Copies of this chain bind each other. A is one copy, B any other.
């Protein structure tokens, strides 16, 4: 087991990474009260809930939600609040999230807002959640007109990333998670990017060591960024590479046809294309990125969205300021910046030609 720390002063917390962690009683260290609400979904719950070792002296109530991004709404939160209140959970209770990014984001938001904040432990079960959404304290739900529009910062007490759980992950979801892994290489870690190029086959074959390394390096990168900028005043925004494009695609397709990571993969390609159009990134680096994403089985072209509509969806993004679209763009592999100061003609051309 590897243990990383997200360094946030008195709100610091560990990320445990390794195989079979859910069987090892790690929750004992992080649940301080006698009550916990475990939130999972209909897919993950039946598969792994029975294997999860919970503290003997803690009474755990299970809440099984439907599976899917379209349930990441305030309406589903009300189900959680109802369970918490009717079960008399008080401020010292803990919410355990056992699931992918949807469960983690939603359970985290409920933990952030129930009685103005209760404890929270993340047990991410998808690669995407292990390398990205479970770390860093961003919680939230979607609004029909925009992804993650309603949310809060709320750091967990611990993240338990059991890489054994990735064994049953469908290929498509594995690939979607790898899009976020590639992102870390692109924005700040060229060595890791090269490692990914060399180990893409192992990752797709679910080689245990390769997966554990990819999760650990991703979490290390994310933990460093979050520790430097918890509330996204600066450098943390780099983690959104590809996301403004990706969110537009997800919103347009009503969060149903595309997995988040797939939309991000397309968004990464589009951000690279804009960077090339601006003369900031060389064509060779764009092609290297495209090749890696293709090797990982990820899409690179958006669905057919009219230019005007695409721009409109992008401008609803949380990063936009005063209606101006801000983007994470690249100057090289491992070298990113956030800016709204770019020739928007390059953006338009990229949307039309990608």
Contacts and interface: CB of A to CB of B under 8 A. Distances in A.
Interface of A: 33-35, 74, 77-78, 81-82, 85-86, 88, 90-92, 112-117, 138, 140, 143, 145-146, 149-153, 231, 315-316, 318-323
Which 10 pairs between the two chains have the least Cβ-Cβ distance?
Answer: A116-B151, A115-B318, A85-B145, A113-B150, A90-B320, A113-B152, A90-B321, A85-B146, A116-B152, A116-B153
B112 A150 contact: no
Contacts of A91: 318-319, 321
Q: Which has the most chain B C-beta neighbours within 10 Å: A33, A113, A117, A321?
A: A113
| Residues of A contacting B: mostly | mixed
A350 to B, nearest CB: 22
Contacts of A322: 33-35, 90, 92
A75 to B, nearest CB: 9
B145 A86 contact: yes
Contacts of A146: 85
A151 B113 contact: yes
Contacts of A320: 90
A161 B113 CA distance: 27
A167 to B, nearest CB: 33
Q: Which has the most chain B C-beta neighbours within 10 Å: A78, A92, A115?
A: A115
Contact of A81 (B116, B149, B316, B318): B149
